[in-house]
Chains A and B, each alone.
Chain A
Amino acid sequence: MEVKVNVKSENVEKLTFFERTYIPEILKALGFMTKHFFVNWGGMILHLIGLRKTKPIATSYYPEELRPDYSPRTRGKHVLVQNPDGSMRCVACLMCATICPAECMLIQACESEVSEEQRYPETFSIDMSRCIMCGLCVEACPKDAIRMSTSVHLWAPDGSMIDRRKMVYDRDDLLTWNPTIKYD
């Protein structure tokens, strides 16, 4: 049996005559885009020569410029915690490297001379260009040896973040948080 269905499109707006000629609508669109163009252009020039604090475009020039709306509570800086005597808490159990979803950690264990049971990391490097700041390494650590501190590390005003080889921070960098550039 054939079923006849009369569908009335109630949701479709009827266009007026002027809208159907498209010309007023096209002019409206061109005016809208022109406004955007000149507002953004003028705003960027004023920002560049220092007459305007904020940019009209939200995008930041990333490695040279920090986003202005970072929360002060952002935790984006790995710290290797030290004992009061200055030795590392890390025992190189590789829990953090195992759970790391970005596989950005490289740890080489070494036997400690102090005690038979304890190990310590000979190498402990984090590739900051791969880290996704998930904090799982902090959760996984049984010794509370790695923490995230409040800062944004993935930004260096000198633009050294442009080179990915300079973004691998090693053990001493993470202990003292004074990253030194290893390559030139």
Chain B
Amino acid sequence: MTTVDIIITIVRTAAVFFLVFNLGGLMTFVERKQSALMQDRIGANRAFLPFIPDWKGIRVLRTFFGVWHNIADAIKMLTKENFQPRATDKFVYNLALWFAVVPTLMTAAVIPIMQPVQFGKILDIPLFQSLVPGLVEFMKSTFGDRVITMQVANLNVGLLYIFAITGLGIFGAVLAGWSSNNKFALLGGLRAAAQMISYEIPMGISLMGLILIFGTLSVTDIVRIQGETYFLQGYLPGWGIVVQPFAFFLFLTAAIAENKRIPFDIPEGESEIIAGYYTEYSAMKMGLFMLSEFVQIAIIAMIIATLFFGGYNVPWLHGSGFVFPWGVEVPLPHIVVTLITHLAFMLKVIFFCWFQILIRWTLPRFRYDQLMKLGWKILLPLSIVNLIITSIVMMFLDLAK
């Protein structure tokens, strides 16, 4: 491993975690404001930075639509009393927090956030050549022709990794509920265990069809194949949603249930069991549980965008520019293509974050029996049927070859 490799790894890790953390943090703001707009309210707008002036008598610029409430929240969480009940199991109580937060962040490691980048080529456009010729030469000599995938880890078992790590998240809820020595927390932990294990099965089986079709477990390869496949003489991009439309809805439902938010917030249900498994956590410990929940919204959006909506792919955009099926070609430099792919990925992620919050503020909570019925009697059989039909179709397609 050379110095260049280490630098590349650090840069990729920093980029992905910067993205994930900031998306998760902004989700608190988006949730406040979006729920307000959906319910004909204004939403949080009082926190302000005193050095920003007023505008037109309305403190819109000063409060900036309530975005500073995030900072106020963080300061509040960090300065509150970190109360821990005496009867808790201290080791497990603190360990549960790690299980809740760390796996959530680790899931993002296999998601590519933009197309594979050739750092040797990225500054090789006339603008930079005339402005900073030394830097262009330096990048060329350092990176050469290497193609670097923009994700933390390019694993060939990426999908299995996602399931393994999200499965660890159950421990967070269960251990937190058990170690708190509180009836409500224990109830929440039990419910979380039942719900998350139930929904992990349809979540996994619904993706089997995708694995069958793309023939790989590597997330990088799945995204690449989605960008290269086209149907209907090149007019229809072969994204996951096109080849597995049914699996998308199953996966979306199961993923929202995994996130333990309304309409699947049985483990937390405020009106029934206070805050569920994290009832006894206070200050920033509780804040970390909340943060991991919001980060998980972003992660689910990333997984859905990657597996079903082509990840960073834009229809008809290839490495050298747009190649439209009706014969028009628009060549673009490498850096522009890279930025477009990243923008496309972010737009897809933001759309699915928005969609999850839309669902959370529209649907009422399921009852416990309804939840289990949906998981075991509806989602699981449907995902198995989906898998069987996909297998049969794939078999006949293979025979036709």
Find out whether the CB atom of A40 lies under 8 angstroms from the CB atom of B57.
Answer: no
Q: How far is the CB of B219 from chain A (nearest CB, A)?
A: 28
CB neighbours (8 Å) of A67 from chain B are none
Within 8 A of B (CB), among A49-75: 56-59, 61, 64-65
Q: Which of A34, A57, A157 is B40 in contact with, Cβ under 8 Å?
A: A57
B42 within 8 A of A: yes
- Bound-state CA distance A157–B58 (Å) is 9
Given contacts A57-B40, A58-B40, contact A33 B361 (CB under 8 A): yes
Bound Cα distance from A42 to B185, whole angstroms: 42
| Contact digits for B171-199, partner A, Cβ 8 Å, 1 yes 0 no | 00000000000000000000000000000
Is the CB of B80 closer than 8 A to any CB of chain A?
no
Q: In the bound complex, do residue B362 and residue A30 qualify as a contact, i.e. CB atoms below 8 Å apart?
A: yes
Q: How far is the CA of A161 from the CA of B45 in the complex (A)?
A: 16
- Asked whether, in the complex, the Cβ of A37 is within 8 Å of the Cβ of B60, the reply is no
Choice from B37, B41, B54 contacting A159 with Cβ under 8 Å: B54
Known: A59-B42, A64-B57. A29 touches B362 (CB 8 A): yes
Cβ B358 vs Cβ A37 within 8 A:
yes
Contact present for B358 and A33 (CB under 8 Å): yes
Docked complex Cα distance between A83 and B55 (Å): 43
| B29-60 Cβ-contact flags toward A at 8 Å (1 or 0) | 00000100111111001000000001001111
State the CA gap A40–B358 with chains docked (Å).
14
Residues of A within 8 A of B37 (CB): 36-37, 40-41, 44, 57
How many angstroms from the CA of A64 to the CA of B39 in the assembled complex?
A: 23
- Evaluate contact between A40 and B60: CB separation under 8 angstroms: no
Alpha-carbon distance between A45 and B60 when the two chains are bound, in angstroms? 11
Closest Cβ–Cβ distance, residue B201 to chain A (whole Å):
21
- As a 0/1 sequence over residues 89 to 111 of chain A, the CB contacts with chain B under 8 angstroms (1 = contact) are 00000000000000000000000
In the bound complex, residues from chain A placing their C-beta under 8 Å from that of B361 are 33
A182–B144 Cα gap in the complex (Å)? 71
Smallest Cβ distance from B54 to chain A, in angstroms? 7
Q: Is A136 positioned at the interface, with any CB of B under 8 Å from its CB?
A: no
Known: A59-B42, A61-B45. A33 touches B362 (CB 8 A): yes
B230-268 CB contacts (< 8 Å) to partner A: none
Given contacts A29-B363, A30-B358, A33-B361, contact A59 B41 (CB under 8 A): yes
Shortest CB distance A152–B (Å): 16
Residues of chain A within 8 A (CB-CB) of B41 are: 57, 59
What's the nearest-Cβ distance from chain B to residue A15, in Å? 15
Q: Main secondary structure on chain B at its contact with chain A?
A: loop
| B339 is an interface residue with CB less than 8 A from chain A | no
Per-residue 0/1 for A4-34: is the Cβ within 8 Å of any B Cβ (1 yes, 0 no)?
A: 0000000000000000000000100110011
| A61 CA to B57 CA, complexed, in Å | 10
Q: How far is the CB of B44 from chain A (nearest CB, A)?
A: 12
Given contacts A29-B363, A37-B34, contact A61 B40 (CB under 8 A): no
The reply to whether A37 and B57 contact each other, CB–CB distance below 8 Å, is no
Instruction: Output the least CB separation between A184 and chain B (Å).
Output: 15
Choice from B38, B54, B57 contacting A33 with Cβ under 8 Å: B38
Contact indicator B40/A64 (Cβ below 8 Å): no
Q: Name the A residues within 8 Å of B359 (CB-CB).
A: 30
A154 is an interface residue with CB less than 8 A from chain B: no
Asked if A37 and B38 make an inter-chain contact with CB atoms under 8 angstroms apart, the answer reads: yes
A40 to B39, CA, bound (A): 9
In the assembled complex, the Cα of A30 lies from the Cα of B249 at a distance in Å of: 15
Chain B's closest residue to A63 (CB) is: B59
B58 contact from A37, A41, A58, A64, Cβ within 8 A: A64
Question: A36 — which chain B residues lie within 8 A by C-beta?
Answer: 37-40
Is A48 part of the binding interface, using a Cβ–Cβ cutoff of 8 Å?
yes
- Smallest Cβ distance from A62 to chain B, in angstroms? 10
Please give, as numbers and ranges, the residues of chain B lying within 8 Å of A29 by CB-CB distance.
362-363
Distance (whole angstroms) from the CB of A37 to the closest CB of chain B: 5
Shortest distance between the CB of B130 and any CB in chain A (Å): 39
With CB as the reference atom, state the residue of chain B lying closest to A158: B57
**Given known contacts A37-B34, A40-B37, is B59 in contact with A61 (CB within 8 Å)?**
yes
In the complex formed, the residue of B with least CB distance to A65 is B58
Q: What is the bound-complex CA distance between A130 and B363, given in angstroms?
A: 40
User: B59 CB to closest chain A CB, in angstroms?
Assistant: 6
Interface string of B191-234 (1 = CB under 8 A from A): 00000000000000000000000000000000000000000000
Cβ–Cβ < 8 Å partners of A56 in chain B: 40
What's the nearest-Cβ distance from chain B to residue A30, in Å?
6
List, in ascending order, chain B residues with CB within 8 A of A26's CB: 362-363
Kindly identify, within residues 16 to 38 of chain B, every residue whose CB is under 8 Å from any CB belonging to chain A. Answer: 34, 37-38
Residues of A within 8 Å of B57, CB to CB, are: 64-65, 157-159
- Inter-chain CA distance A26–B37, complex, in Å, is 19
- A81-139 contacts to B (CB < 8 Å): none
| Cα distance, A40 to B60, chains bound together (Å) | 16
Q: A33-B362, A34-B358, A37-B358 given as contacts; is B38 within 8 A of A61 (CB)?
A: no
Extra inter-chain contacts (4) besides given A29-B362, A57-B41, CB under 8 Å: A26-B362, A33-B38, A33-B358, A57-B37
CB<8 Å pairs between A and B, sample of 17: A30-B359, A33-B358, A33-B361, A36-B37, A37-B37, A41-B37, A48-B58, A48-B60, A56-B40, A57-B40, A57-B42, A58-B40, A59-B42, A61-B45, A61-B58, A65-B57, A157-B57
Nearest first, the 3 A-B pairs at minimum CB distance are: A40-B37, A33-B362, A37-B38
